[in-house]
Amino acid sequence: ETGVTQSPTHLIKTRGQQVTLRCSSQSGHNTVSWYQQALGQGPQFIFQYYREEENGRGNFPPRFSGLQFPNYSSELNVNALELDDSALYLCASSLGGGQPWLTDTQYFGPGTRLTVL
């Protein structure tokens, strides 16, 4: 096991609602990245947080937002849910984050499976 935990494991919402997903990083890791994996696709980068600051963002609209807390755990918030938001949401923790020369590994949590009806 990676030591990265996510909650909840499954979630069902309706269009227009808002959702908050949570991630606890591996002990000692200061960086959390969030990915969205639609069925049959590879994970797509949403954003990364390094020491409580956003450290890079993928091609996702502003209704996808996040937070990182002093203990390095993180939240992903999605407003105004759309049917296409149905996916597996993965968080990954790593050490270092903002240093481009580091080749540290990202360790993934088990994911939250979100269904939007």
Q: Single out the segment in contact with other proteins by CB under 8 A; choices: 15-23, 36-44, 60-68, 76-84.
A: 36-44
Q: Would you count residue 11 as binding other proteins (CB under 8 A)? A: no
Tokens of 19: 């959702």
**Distance in Å, CB of 16 to other proteins, minimum:** 27
**Residue 89 phi, psi (nearest 5):** -105, 120
Cβ atoms of 2 and 104 within 8 Å: the answer is no
**Distance in Å, CB of 100 to other proteins, minimum:** 4
**Distance in Å, CB of 34 to other proteins, minimum:** 11
Q: Rounded CA gap, 105 and 78, in Å?
A: 26
